[in-house]
């Protein structure tokens, strides 16, 4: 019997208008959960409920809210294995990675539980005597958080944990194909002592979510929109929020470059390219897009990289593998379309292409009815090429050669994304010149493009986002607004700019 799950608003199950079946991508015949989908009315009502609950939640002292975050962390930790197993079952993420993802929720809670005792404001000197100036962080109100399913629990926690800690209420709309994992995480969060209505979960399709969000923004019940997903949808979310004069925190796609300098440790670079190109089947926003390798080491790198990719373990995500299946049918279809386009135009250096089946196996593995795909490396991608410019969100990596570091930086910036990037070099000057020139929000030196830590700013520029940053103390600026206060105890009307004290 698969799970039956529905939206939860104000602590109560909400009405559904449709049903979605979330299936296991490693065994597509297995239904993981039957998900009741709500409509725009439920979404808008959830935002009104959240607004109501937020008033009381904001009055709870921040250190006490921090204690609730501490309980969330402990509950998630105590249930880490079952949550990770569910993530593996529902989206096909290898178990070790799924466990790491759950660990990232705990890390996020660890960081923010202490923030409850800080959430610092400032004292600021006044230009007039007997007057004190202060700043306070105030909660924004209600955050509508819409998340993707490739990181079904860790990435949502980057929004939920700081938003709640700062005194906001949340309406969370996770991706349908990761609904069971999201629902399990929601239950753990709720069990930690959050009052009803402070955190709500709504399952809905894209069209109903947009309509519901538009209405809620119009009614003034949502003050912040958090979105992780494609650049295309992010643009629409940003426009919608902007039309209502509200701001969005957008964490979008990436076409993340890796530059390999002639002095690089090539084995280390190959290992990094393998992990960030094909780990999670290339379905991270931080996945490697293109390796930009110096012409003097191009052939050597390509040979070692292609060999490593051919030998990598792809298979049952419950086992010790580099990657399992693609997330869901929708992603598999998009990737297939991409492969159809690629094949007549490019030389694949890794062997077979397409879905792994009995007729197109990978070694002894025939993929069963799972959404498994052969990993693909393509050499000689040109800057005007789709493969060079577009995010693929699948197991494919392009390789291209360069002559000078300036040229490599130009190539790295060309696709117009700007999330993550990496350089392999043993020369510190190269690393710093790259950091300065690359437009990415994140730069790795001798490490892959994936694997951000929970307390460093995470986010991108250009098509990767609107410059907002998540994680660490930087995300506090997403979920609080600065309030300035001045207190005049001179007993007379002192006029700023006009009554400046003389010396
Ligand atoms: C994403 O794919 O949306 O840095 C986030 C990483 C992960 C997060 C990826 N910790 O690769």
- Residue 454's pLDDT is 84
Kindly give the distance from the C-alpha atom of residue 268 to the centroid of ligand 1, in angstroms, as a whole number: 21
Same domain as 261, residue 249: no
- Residue 346's pLDDT is 85
The tens-digit pLDDT sequence of the chain (503 residues) is 679 999 999 999 999 999 999 999 999 989 999 999 999 999 999 999 999 999 999 999 999 999 999 999 999 999 999 999 999 999 999 999 999 999 999 999 999 999 999 999 999 999 999 999 999 999 999 999 999 999 999 999 999 999 999 999 999 999 999 999 999 999 999 999 999 999 999 999 999 999 999 999 999 999 999 999 999 999 999 999 999 999 999 999 999 999 999 999 999 999 999 999 999 999 999 999 999 999 999 999 999 999 999 999 999 999 999 999 999 999 999 999 989 888 777 889 998 999 999 999 999 999 999 999 999 999 999 999 999 999 999 999 999 999 999 999 999 999 999 999 999 999 999 999 999 999 999 999 999 999 888 899 999 999 999 999 999 999 999 999 999 999 999 999 998 888 776 77
Ligand 1 neighbour 155 (Cβ under 6 A)? yes
Provide the annotated active-site residues.
251
Query: Which tokens hold the place of 55?
Result: 């008033």
Residue 27, class by beta-carbon neighbours within 10 Å (0-12 exposed, 13-18 middle, 19+ buried)? middle
Best of 284, 454, 458, 475 for a ligand 1 pocket test (most atoms within 8 Å of beta carbon): 284
Q: Is residue 349 part of a domain?
A: yes
Same domain as 315, residue 215: no
Q: Is residue 431 part of a domain?
A: yes
Ligand 1 neighbour 175 (Cβ under 6 A)? no
Q: Is residue 456 part of a domain?
A: no
CA 455 to each of CA 108, 250, 470: distance values in angstroms, whole numbers, following the listed order = 7, 18, 9
Same domain as 476, residue 357: no
User: What whole-number distance in Å separates Cα of residue 78 and Cα of residue 80?
Assistant: 6
Strands of the 224-228 sheet, one edge to the other: 12-13, 8-9, 199-201, 169-173, 142-146, 224-228, 247-251
Kindly give the distance from the C-alpha atom of residue 380 to the centroid of ligand 1, in angstroms, as a whole number: 27
Query: Which tokens hold the place of 107?
Result: 């890390």
Strands of the 27-37 sheet, one edge to the other: 3-5, 27-37, 18-24
Kindly give the distance from the C-alpha atom of residue 451 to the centroid of ligand 1, in angstroms, as a whole number: 6
Same domain as 99, residue 54: yes
Minimal CA–CA distance to 310: which of 347, 274, 261?
A: 274
Best of 87, 104, 145, 151 for a ligand 1 pocket test (most atoms within 8 Å of beta carbon): 151
Best of 100, 155, 287 for a ligand 1 pocket test (most atoms within 8 Å of beta carbon): 155
Same domain as 406, residue 287: yes
Q: Is residue 32 part of a domain?
A: no
Q: Is residue 495 part of a domain?
A: no
Same domain as 282, residue 236: no
CATH of the domain at 47: 3.40.605.10
Q: Is residue 23 part of a domain?
A: no
DSSP secondary structure letter of residue 147 = -
Same domain as 260, residue 246: no
User: What whole-number distance in Å separates Cα of residue 23 and Cα of residue 32?
Assistant: 5
Query: Which tokens hold the place of 500?
Result: 């400046």
Same domain as 115, residue 73: yes
User: What whole-number distance in Å separates Cα of residue 122 and Cα of residue 252?
Assistant: 33
User: What whole-number distance in Å separates Cα of residue 323 and Cα of residue 97?
Assistant: 10
Q: Is residue 71 part of a domain?
A: yes
- Closest atom of ligand 1 relative to the 150 alpha carbon: 2
Ligand 1 neighbour 150 (Cβ under 6 A)? yes
Same domain as 153, residue 45: yes
Residue 366, class by beta-carbon neighbours within 10 Å (0-12 exposed, 13-18 middle, 19+ buried)? middle
Q: Is residue 16 part of a domain?
A: no
Same domain as 147, residue 45: yes
Ligand 1 neighbour 49 (Cβ under 6 A)? no
- Residue 501's pLDDT is 67
Query: Which tokens hold the place of 125?
Result: 């000197």
Range of the domain at 301: 256-445
Ligand 1 neighbour 457 (Cβ under 6 A)? no
- Number of structural domains the chain divides into: 2
User: What whole-number distance in Å separates Cα of residue 32 and Cα of residue 58?
Assistant: 37
CATH of the domain at 411: 3.40.309.10
Same domain as 268, residue 233: no
Long-range contacts of 228-232 (CB under 8 A, 24+ apart): 228/146, 228/147, 228/148, 228/151, 228/155, 228/252, 228/285, 229/146, 229/147, 229/148, 230/391, 231/391, 231/417, 231/463, 231/464
Minimal CA–CA distance to 255: which of 395, 101, 420, 447?
A: 420
Same domain as 88, residue 233: yes
């Amino acid at each position: 019997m698969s799970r039956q799950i529905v939206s939860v608003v104000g602590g109560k199950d909400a009405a559904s208008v449709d049903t979605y079946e979330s299936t296991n991508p490693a065994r597509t015949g297995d239904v993981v959960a039957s998900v009741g989908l709500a409509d725009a009315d439920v979404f808008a009502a959830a935002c009104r409920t959240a607004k109501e609950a937020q008033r009381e939640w904001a009055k709870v002292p921040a250190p006490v809210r921090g204690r609730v975050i501490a309980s969330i962390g402990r509950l998630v930790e105590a249930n880490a294995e079952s949550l990770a197993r569910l993530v593996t079952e529902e989206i096909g993420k290898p178990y070790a990675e799924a466990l790491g993802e759950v660990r990232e929720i705990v890390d996020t809670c660890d960081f923010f539980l202490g923030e409850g005792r800080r959430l610092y404001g400032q004292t600021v000197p006044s230009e007039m005597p007997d007057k004190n100036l202060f700043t306070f962080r105030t909660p924004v109100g209600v955050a509508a958080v819409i998340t993707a399913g490739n990181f079904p629990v860790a990435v949502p926690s980057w929004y939920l944990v700081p938003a709640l800690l700062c005194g906001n209420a949340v309406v969370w709309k996770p991706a349908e194909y990761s609904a069971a994992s999201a629902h399990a995480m929601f239950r753990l969060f709720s069990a930690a002592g959050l009052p009803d209505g402070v955190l709500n979960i709504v399952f809905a399709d894209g069209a109903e979510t947009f309509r519901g969000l538009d209405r809620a923004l119009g009614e003034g019940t949502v003050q912040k929109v958090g979105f992780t997903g494609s650049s295309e949808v992010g643009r629409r979310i940003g426009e919608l929020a902007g039309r209502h004069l509200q701001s969005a925190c957008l964490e979008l796609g990436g076409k993340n470059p890796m530059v390999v300098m002639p002095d690089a440790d090539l084995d280390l670079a190959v290992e990094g390219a393998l992990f960030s190109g094909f780990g999670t089947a290339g379905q991270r926003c931080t996945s490697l897009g293109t390796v930009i390798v110096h012409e003097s080491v191009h052939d050597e790198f390509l040979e070692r990289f292609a060999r490593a990719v051919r030998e990598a373990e792809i298979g049952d995500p419950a086992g010790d593998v580099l990657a399992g299946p693609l997330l869901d049918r929708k992603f598999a279809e998009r990737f297939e379309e991409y492969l159809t386009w690629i094949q007549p135009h490019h030389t694949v250096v890794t062997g077979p292409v397409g879905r792994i089946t009995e007729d197109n196996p990978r070694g002894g593995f025939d993929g069963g009815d799972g959404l498994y795909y052969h990993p693909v490396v393509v050499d000689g991608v040109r800057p005007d090429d789709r493969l060079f410019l577009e995010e693929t969100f699948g197991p494919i990596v392009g390789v291209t050669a360069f002559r000078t570091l300036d040229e490599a930086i130009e190539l790295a910036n060309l696709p117009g994304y700007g999330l993550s990037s990496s350089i392999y070099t043993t020369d510190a000057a190269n690393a710093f010149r790259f950091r300065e020139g690359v437009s990415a929000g994140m730069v790795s030196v001798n490490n892959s493009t994936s694997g951000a830590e929970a307390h460093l700013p995470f986010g991108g520029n250009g098509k990767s986002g609107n410059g907002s940053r998540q994680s660490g103390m930087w995300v506090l600026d997403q979920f609080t607004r600065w309030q300035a206060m001045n207190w005049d105890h001179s007993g007379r009307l002192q006029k700023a700019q006009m009554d400046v004290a003389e010396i």
